[in-house]
A and B are shown apart, each in its own frame.
Chain A
Amino acid sequence: MPYDAEISRRKPSLFVFLIDQSRSMSRKIAGGSRSKSQEAAYAINKQLNEIISRCTKSDGVRPYFYVGVIGYGIKSGEALSLIGDEPIPINELENHILRMETETQQIEDEEIETEFPIWFEPVAAYDTPMTKALTLAGEWIVDFIGKNPDSFPPILINISDGGATDGDPLVPAKDILDLETTNGKTLIWNCHISEKEGDTIKFPNDPENVGNDKHAVSMFNMSSQLPDTFIAIAREEFTDIPDSARAYVYNGDLDDLIKLLDIGTRVAYSKVS
């Protein structure tokens, strides 16, 4: 499968982000000073900014992508769409901005102030209904592929500290991994963040190599094998990416999280026509 379809307004693609909002996300991320929920919210806000930037032309934002975001754990046992009821075209995302922040941007030796929209605040509330979140994402993807059968395949990115509390997430994940357009299978990327100090495991190709976290093998198994085009980009950012690597990072810090989001989305950007 080539993953080379043109992405345009006539043939948009889909990003679905899943954010773990369970209580355990309130703990500090390994190697960092902020909580996992803070880092996850920052990374998603930053990535949505990036997608908008990629789609921004002088006349505004063009709907090359649909975007859906699901939070799970904000209420007990519930997985909810955090933007509207279903994925929306990227140009409608600005209608859902919570507030604007000012950030300093460094360009060469100049510092300039720019506005940075915030869509999501950090949340760390209840349990971890990841299975429900994946089931909802699967429904969205089925619907999207039904309407866009020849599109660049949907990409789902899940940020979690693991440990579903509502059954086996591998079941809906496998259903999603089987969903395909004429241009390839849907891709699932998992960023498994942790409060445990230890090595980061990036894009492994063997479940034996994912460390001793009890949820790591499950997260590995629900991650796509990286297509060649994505492997090439992953190797620009990380050394020692093996062949047949899975779209899975365990125990990453914020930098790893942002890189994973970037690698997971950059191939799609390059197909925008």
Chain B
Amino acid sequence: MKVNTLNFSKAGSPQEESEDALDFNMDELRFSICDGAGDSIFSAVWAQVLSSVYVSGNFDLTNDAELQDYINSCRLRWFESIAWDSLKWNVKKKSVYGSYSTFLSATLDKTSKKVTVWARGDACFFLYDEDSMESFPITDPVMFGLHPELVWSGYGNPIRDKKDYKFPEFKKNEFDFGDHKGILMATDALSKYIMENGASSVWEITDHYSNREFFDELRSNGKMRNDDVSAIIISSL
């Protein structure tokens, strides 16, 4: 099994401004990719926490207790990673509303050749072959909208601990990956591009995964929306 990743900020923006995050755990074959929402603040931190905590744990998100454990662990880590007292007035004012991110994970079981996928929002999982692919949770490019479902960090300082938190719901799906060429997980702009251009575009992406200029050109010429792009490509299944 071979894993390649990409994470490029918007065309024209420095790399450190990407609000996408990804992580994986090869021992446990857990993979996660999250897209921090540009409207909120500290979203990149939140997206990274969601990915990292997921791949380092063993959470069944259909189980209420495990879901709460996962989200509470993420919230605590997010909250503790921000130096609240040193924030400027405008950052402080905005950060109290918390951060938002989409979430996508895939956990592979090599024995059964099954992959379990969890999703909230519009980052997509693709199972692909030479000339075909299937996707989840979005299956048609017209379904990408302005307001995807998101995972919320809860409020920031000073009211974090005073609020009840409504835990998010995740969509789940399972796929047999045994006879397929590969898996690709991508945030929304890249997912939409792939759906609009068909299975051949997956191979285009896998050929250029380390080439930022390739993605900058797609985004600059309008073939892909100018957003952060990130992906995890799992091949040689």
| A interface residue numbers (CB < 8 A to B) | 6, 8-10, 52-53, 56-61, 94, 100, 105, 107-108, 110, 112, 114-115, 117, 270, 272-273
Contact = CB atoms under 8 A, between A and B. Distances in A.
A58 B10 contact: no
B42 interface: yes
A107 B93 contact: no
12 contacts: A53-B90, A57-B41, A58-B42, A58-B44, A58-B91, A58-B95, A94-B90, A107-B97, A108-B163, A114-B93, A114-B96, A117-B89
10 closest cross-chain pairs (CB), A and B: A115-B89, A110-B159, A56-B90, A10-B12, A114-B93, A58-B42, A56-B94, A273-B226, A58-B41, A53-B94
Interface of B: 10, 12-13, 17, 38, 41-42, 44-45, 88-97, 146, 155, 158-159, 162-163, 226-227
A58 B82 CA distance: 10
Given A58-B41, A112-B96, A112-B159, A273 B227 contact: yes
A122 B226 CA distance: 41
Contact of B162 (A6, A9, A57, A110): A110
Given A94-B90, A115-B93, A273-B227, A107 B41 contact: no
Contacts of B10: 8, 273
- The binding surface of chain B is classed by DSSP as loop
A272 B39 CA distance: 9
B87 to A, nearest CB: 9
A110 B154 CA distance: 14
Nearest to B163: A108
A270 B12 contact: no
A187 to B, nearest CB: 21
A107 B89 contact: no
A170 B159 CA distance: 50
A95 to B, nearest CB: 13
Nearest to A108: B163
Given A114-B96, A273-B226, 12 more contacts: A8-B10, A8-B12, A8-B13, A10-B12, A53-B93, A56-B91, A58-B91, A94-B90, A107-B159, A110-B159, A110-B162, A114-B93
Contact of B88 (A9, A10, A60, A108): A60
A7 to B, nearest CB: 11
A56 B38 CA distance: 10
A56 B87 CA distance: 12
Contacts of A114: 89, 92-93, 96
Nearest to A113: B158
A233 to B, nearest CB: 13
Nearest to A94: B90
A37 B226 CA distance: 42
Contacts of A115: 89, 92-93
Contacts of A107: 96-97, 155, 159
